[in-house]
Amino acid sequence: MPQFRRRQILAGALLPLLAPALHAQASFPSKPIHIIVPFPPGGSTDVLARRVGEKIAVALKQPVVVENKPGAGGTLGAAYVAKSPADGHTILMGVTGSNAIGPALYSNLTYDATKDFAPLTMASVSPLLLVVNPKVPAKTLEQFVALAKQKPKSISHGTPGNGTSMHLTAEMFKIATGTDLVHVPYKGSAAVLTDLLGGQIDAMFSDMQVLMQQVKAGKVVPLAVTSAKRHPMLPDVPTMAERGYAGFEALSWQGLFAPAGTPPAVVALLSTEMNKALRSNDIQEYFGPTGLIVEGSTPAEYKEFVDKEIRKWGDIVRRAGVKVE
């Protein structure tokens, strides 16, 4: 059979299969796209959503509106998107709390984090950093663990609240090290940092962007990062795994989701344009100094990552007996 004839037959056979996807992609977006941020304006999740939104608005030739719907550790905004039409015009900027921790932490969630979302792309990831006030007589992770074991319940750590990734990372730490720290919950990271600097609490796990300035100024002592590899901004700070706690990894992450059932062609288009935005020079240059690693992913890669996170954090919540009233 002539080669060109064979190609014509193949094209004719594939056309009915491709037509629905091509139509969906051609008709999308047909109206403004809304990115739901489940936190108040001004934080890193909000800023990243707005920067990505600006770029995909240009690429897709439709306005992108960022809406803030805070509450319940990000789960209120997530629930809103889960119930939105599955047409790609409503998107969630989800985080560890809303899409991995929440399912185990809240008994009354109105969405299923595994089944109700179509992952689009990982937006950013950052390890947490364990730091102590300089007055604490421990300058290494080994010394800190030894001190905590020597004097159970004598060392306090602060978090932005019960059930946050910082709280559960500390619970993971306690399980891994066999220590018993005193948990002091606050309303937000700023209040935790203020009391850490003032010596009212001894330690905290927090995002790199919250702590980097204080680390550089010598106002807090960094003991370990919670990623599998050392962070490029703190090459001298070891990982937990390096210090003998194999498999210890806790990441603060942000990523984009559409409602489940969104047409595959729309998912593919959104993911492609979002990845282009995330990997653009100006976004890389803006977020690089904050400690966030912004790189993007395929929908399949992101789904695999989120599913593992749901299992991991669910196990920590159960083992630690964490409850949110």
Q: What is the pLDDT of residue 57?
A: 97
Q: Are residues 61 and 145 part of one domain?
A: no
Of 243, 260, 283, which residue sits at a domain end? 243
Backbone angles phi, psi at 161, to 5 degrees: 150, 165
**Does residue 76 lie within any of the structural domains?**
yes
pTM for the model: 0.85
Whether residue 206 sits in one domain with residue 187? yes
Shared domain check, 207 and 274: no
Q: How far apart are CA 295 and CA 277, in angstroms?
A: 10
Confidence at residue 21, expressed as pLDDT on a 0 to 100 scale: 46
- What is d(CA 17, CA 195) in angstroms, rounded to the nearest whole number? 61
How much is the pLDDT for 8? Answer: 46
Q: Which domain holds residue 44?
A: 29-125+251-320
- Choosing from 181, 210, 243, the residue where a domain stops is 243
**Domain-embedded: residue 279:** yes
pLDDT 10s digits, 263-303: 999 999 999 999 999 999 999 999 888 888 998 999 999 99
What is the rounded CA–CA span in Å between residue 190 and residue 200? 14
Residue 11 covered by a domain: no
Q: How many domains does the chain have?
A: 2
With respect to residue 5, please indicate whether it lies within any of the assigned structural domains. no
* 141 within domain boundaries: yes
Of 215, 199, 63, the C-alpha closest to 128 is 215
Domain ends where: 225, 243, 261? 243
- 62 and 137 inside one domain: no
